[in-house]
Chains A and B, each alone.
Chain A
Amino acid sequence: MSAVANTIFSPEMAARFDKLATIYPVKRSALVPMLLYAQDEVGYVSDAVVAEIAQRLDLLELDVRNVLSYYSMLRTKPAGKYNVQVCTNISCMLRGGYEILDHCKKQLGIGHKGVTPDGVFSLEEVECIGACCWAPAMQINYDFHDNLTPAKVDNLLQIYRDGKGKDVK
């Protein structure tokens, strides 16, 4: 039974949030992870998500928006089912990060922060994701893919298109 009547989240997520709000010395500590997990389920941080999380943590919606807008992984608009995040930071750049990004743009027909018409993919150019020694690297729904080549990328995108892709949400 969720702490919030008519929650917008799945029973599992609601239960998880109920717990999350209790494990810290201060409730508010749950805010950042909650926003991220909510985004994983809803697809983005909608106004409804902001409202419910504010309610759960006894915060003003303004507080939630202030925090939400600070973190670059959080978005207020829907992304694709599979969010492709290509790192172009220095180590990746040196090993072809931009070629990989351009290749993704070409293959998906979208640019930075774009979403394919069928809503299956979205693309993002991101900062260093901590895979520098295995560059160039990217993440699709949190799953790391490294030592990339255009061929490897094509193959990956196909796997996800076929719904066989890994999702570590």
Chain B
Amino acid sequence: MPTLVSHPDEVKVISRRFGQGAADIDKYVELDGYKAVQKAIAEGPEKMSGWIIDTMKASGLRGRGGAGFPTGLKWSFVPKQSEKPKYVLVNGDESEPGTCKDHVIFLEDPHAVIEGTMIAGLAIGAKTGFIYLRGEYRYLLKIMEKAVADAYAKGFLGKNIFGSGLDFDVITQSGAGAYEVGEESALMESLEGKRGVPRIKPPFPAVVGLYGGPTVINNAETIASAPHILLMGGEAYAKIGSERNGGTRLFGISGHVERPGVYELPMGYNLKKAIYEVAGGVKDGKKLKAVVPGGSSCPVLTADEIDVGLDFDQMGKAGTMLGSGGIVVLDETVSIVEFALRTINFYQHESCGWCIPCREGTDWIKKTLTRVHAGGGANKDIDNVQYLAENMLGRTFCPLGDAAAMPTLGFVKKFRKEFEEYIAGKRVDTPLITVQDLVGAH
């Protein structure tokens, strides 16, 4: 069970109801639950959609799934008219190593996800919303299922919601173990009962998505933010954050810190402060070696690169990404080679295998690093790894290939010396036990 943490610097918007038993529908309603959706409906059938989208645009909310795409804009891409039904799809596949924020939302505030889904539905004119949780989140799925059932029981979901004359249904869905299924088009494939292989884009989901209908896909946190934004107003929300990065977001700080946990900080909050003040600094007073700032896909920052604001743009300038907001902290004792190997093992294991550069590239980087780490490396291995990663970058069918290549490049470029030490035999570790092929039997 996640232990909730808190810190004075936190600005509690999404986490407002955490720890107050808001999974209970009455409690949720008591805490202004389902008010946002009613506020939207009160705008009246003509203005509602426009009002929601404008508010979301004003809020400056950018996707919390990793790419940071402006949410209001995304919603506005959905065509008003469509033969095929439109859908809202909530991405709760949360599988990016270092990320566990959606976990807390599903646990502490499931109705916010439902209400957010309804709001997105009203915005784009969808009658059905899907909430997809990764298979490992079975206990959270049960919480969501109960929340949905309660919402139906209260008549919040189903026919004629809140007297709007509009119907809205929510269906919860379980995955079965696949990081790649978090990629929006692979997510739709999975929801359609297929292998989690991405789709060719264009067409984009907003035009041709689930079952061929226009579809808005958003991360669970993005969706859960919507009700709060409608209630507090777009501008007010935007103000909390930094330039072009509205509001707050949940940062999961993990690894070598004194007080790991999920904290809600304003966008643009300083990374160094987040580690040293919010999370209580490096564990056991050790020295900081490096930080992976936004989930395992983000290029590593060295100890002296972390004086930077936590928003999509500043992180980009710093040569890395805000990603999923999962901040992983590494102290001086960590072997970067081992860390890099463990990271590539993950991507090798999660590659869907569809396209050559990712399927083969992750495999060969893994093989090479495994050997280097075990002390069997040759000098050209480092260049080979870099060559492989550089040739995956931007060449794969979906961004997973990049997600594997970018951190790898970060490690070999910023910590090349360590790799050379391994090759020179100055350091040899017992071979790292690696996740063998968990997939199928063959």
Direct touching of A and B (C-beta under 8 Å): yes
Q: Is the CB of A135 within 8 A of B254?
A: yes
| Contact indicator B136/A132 (Cβ below 8 Å) | no
Tell me whether A94 and B173 are in contact (CB under 8 A): no
Size range of the chain A interface in the assembly: 35 or more
Q: Chain B, interface size: which category?
A: 35 or more
A89–B342 CB distance below 8 A = yes
Query: Closest approach, in angstroms, between the C-beta of B281 and any C-beta of chain A?
Result: 15
Instruction: Supply 14 further A-B pairs (C-beta < 8 A) apart from A25-B211, A132-B254.
Output: A26-B192, A28-B194, A72-B176, A73-B135, A88-B433, A98-B432, A126-B438, A130-B94, A132-B98, A132-B100, A133-B100, A134-B2, A135-B254, A144-B139
Cβ proximity bits A109-131 to B, threshold 8 Å, 1 near / 0 not: 00011000000000011111111
A70 touches which of B171, B196, B256 (Cβ 8 Å): B196
The total of Cβ contacts below 8 Å across the A-B interface reads: 181
Q: Mark B295-330, 1 if CB is under 8 A from A, else 0.
A: 010000000000000000000000000000010111
Quick one: which of A39-94 are within 8 Å of B by CB? 57, 66-74, 76-77, 88-91, 93-94
A-side contacts of B139, CB under 8 Å: 142-144, 168
Q: Which residues of chain B from 74 to 127 have a CB within 8 Å of any chain A CB? A: 85, 94-100, 102-103
Cα–Cα, bound, A97→B343 (Å): 14
B interface SS class: loop
Once the chains bind, are A126 and B137 in contact (CB under 8 Å)?
no
Given contacts A132-B100, A134-B3, contact A69 B440 (CB under 8 A): yes
A36 at the interface (CB under 8 A from B): yes
Query: Which residues of A pack against B, CB within 8 Å?
Result: 23-26, 28-33, 35-36, 57, 66-74, 76-77, 88-91, 93-95, 98, 101-102, 112-113, 124-135, 139, 142-144, 146-147, 168-169
Bound CA–CA A101/B432 (angstroms): 12
Residue among B142, B176, B292, B342 having the largest count of chain A Cβ atoms under 10 Å: B176
Does A73 lie within 8 Å of B441, measured CB to CB? no
